[in-house]
Every structure is written in C-alpha cells, then in structure tokens.
Amino acid sequence: MFRFRWYVPCSVKYPRWSSIFRILSVELWLVLIVSIVIAAVSATIFGRYSCTSEWHRYKTLSSSLTNLWAVILGVSLSSMPCTPSLRSLFIAWVVFSLAFSTVFQAFLTTFLIDSGYKTPIQSLDQMFASGIKLFYPEAYNSIVDNGDDIYALELKRNRLVCPSNVDCVKRAIHLKNVSILTTDINAEENYANGDYVGENSEPLLCRLEDGVVYNTGLGMIMFHGDPLMGLVNIIIDRVVESGLYNHWISFRLYLMKLGTHKIAIIHPLDGYYSFNLNHMQPAFYLLLMGWCLSVLCFMVELFYNRVFCKKFEFGKGSLAT
C-alpha cells in the first residue's frame, strides 16, 4: 500500500539563551517587576518618615531599589536597616528572594541541560492554519485535484514553486518553512539515506498521521487469460501474508542505513545526561554582559567626576572671586 502523505518540519529545540526568559511566563515577570517597585516605594516611605539620620540610604527611590535588587542577587547591602518597620519589610523580602532564587536556579539549570522542543505541527488543520508553504511535484496535481475542495483551495493558495524538488526539500529541512507531499516509502528511503535526519540521527521531517491524501498499491500486469495468473496470485498472497514483502523492504532500508554510516545512538530524555561547559554558555554570556555593563558604568562615572565636577568647582571659584 502506497500512501501519499504530508511531511512537515519536525520540532526543533529552543536555543539555550532563551532559557532565562522561559523560566517564568510573561505574567509572572510582570508580577516580579511590580513586586520590586512596590517594595522599593514602601522602603522609601519607611526611610523618609524615620527620625534617625542613618536612613539617607533609604530616603530615595533609587537607593531603596538598589538595596532590594542586591537582596535578590544575594549580595551585601550598602547599609543595613535598623528600624523595626524597615527590618520587617526586608525580612519578608529576603524570604521572597530566597524562594524565587531557588526556583529560578533550579529551572535555569534544567533548561540549560535540556532546553526542550518547540510545539510542532501535529495535524492537517494546524498545518493549514500555520500558513506554512506547501510543496508537491507537478505529477501530483491529479491527486490534489481529486481531494477535498476546501483543502485543494488551500493547497493552491499556499503552494510553493521551486526550481527543483531538491531545493524545496532543502528549504523544508534547513529553513523549516515548507511542508512536503510524498509517499511513505520515499520518506523511509530518505531516512535511511540520511537525507531527512540530522547529525544525531534525529528526524528533520515528520509525517502527519491525518495527512494522508491518497492511497494506492502496487500491481503486476499480466496478459488476459494467462494460465499462470491463478498461481501468481497465490504466490503473491502467500508472500504478503507471510511478511516476506515487509522483510525485504526492511532489509533494503537496513542496508541503505549501513551504507550511509549515519546510524547513531540517541540518548533518551529520561536517561543520563552529560552536563558540561557547553551548556553553561548562556550563563557565561550573561556574566560577560554584566561585566561590560559594569565597566561602562564605571567609565561614565569616572568621566563625570573628572570633567563635570571640575567645571562645577571652577564655576564656584569664579563666583567667589
């Protein structure tokens, strides 16, 4: 049985640098920002209404925000609070920061080890709704025209015309923006040849279970009235029923896999996973970004103190004279 079926790009992994943003949803990131702002405003109010002179570190919103952010990062504060109200606020913020930091680091380590896969196209309706380009050879026009009228209109509207079939297949594999209509046996041969698999033997094109467009079969042509027709039919039935035909196909695909030298062992997701420095690249990139930002802030502050402060002192000296 030959089945003409749609094959779509398989799910791809999220880039590891996006792990930090995927730890929390957009709503939780907004809640965290609002919580920091509310806590900073509250600390500023408590500091301004304090009668002691030591609260100059908490009488401005920027200083309070800096101290609260230092608690989240787990670094020391510029000055410790002393009044009971401000201490109570900071104790609650420390507990919140400890819980948030624990959950954040646990999920970040998990995503750095295995970033997960994006949601793939799983049905024919999702394929048409995604707006992905569709490709099928000119020889399949009769198959498409005899299909569902609604799907036929979608196919003609989103059809991609390529200079050659190989170009469209390359776009589907590398750019992930094209779906291919082909037969199951042709796809299996491409899997065996290594054309539809990646470096780690992961599939690059996946078939849709409900994407069958047309079913057909193989037949043997004989002269009408041939006396051997009955015997040939019996032999064919026995070959198919005994599984010899499927065995021949499997053995042929196995030999093709051996010839391409692309047979690899894929580790299951629930098995042992080697954690190395390559998984920590996003963390090192963020650390480098933080250092660059710190150096930039230091240079700006140094330039400000050496240029603008001298001008201000010179202006005061001129006014005094």
Give the model confidence (pLDDT) of 102-141 as tens digits.
Answer: 888 888 777 777 777 788 888 888 888 888 888 877 777 7
d(CA 18, CA 112): 9
Give the model confidence (pLDDT) of 45-73 as tens digits.
Answer: 887 776 555 456 677 788 888 888 888 88
Residue type at 26 in one-letter notation = V
Which of 15-29, 32-46, 214-228 has maximum average pLDDT? 32-46
pLDDT at 208: 87
Checking if the pLDDT of 188 tops 50, the result is yes
Give the model confidence (pLDDT) of 261-297 as tens digits.
Answer: 665 444 444 445 556 666 667 777 777 888 888 888 8
pLDDT band, residue 309 (cuts 50/70/90):
low
pLDDT at 146: 66
Instruction: Find the helix or strand (DSSP H, E) in which 42 lies.
Output: helix 26-48
Question: Residues 180, 135: contact at Cβ < 8 Å?
Answer: yes
Mean pLDDT, residues 21-43 = 85
pLDDT at 316: 53
Average pLDDT of the chain, as a whole number: 77
Instruction: Count other Cβ atoms within 10 Å, centred on residue 43.
Output: 26
Checking if the pLDDT of 81 tops 80, the result is no
pLDDT at 268: 44
Q: Which position has the higher pLDDT, 95 or 201?
A: 95
d(CA 111, CA 116): 7
For the ranges 20-24, 189-193, 223-227, which has the lowest average pLDDT? 20-24
Mean pLDDT, residues 177-183 = 85
Residue spans per domain, the chain: 16-113, 121-260, 277-320
Checking if the pLDDT of 211 tops 80, the result is no
C-alpha 34: how far from its chain's center? 27
| Closest among 83, 94, 76 to 39, alpha carbons compared | 94
pLDDT band, residue 311 (cuts 50/70/90):
low
Checking if the pLDDT of 36 tops 70, the result is yes
pLDDT at 266: 43
How far, in Å, are 45, 178, 315 from residue 312 at the CA level?
Answer: 32, 64, 5
d(CA 7, CA 212): 10
Checking if the pLDDT of 17 tops 50, the result is yes
Residue type at 64 in one-letter notation = S
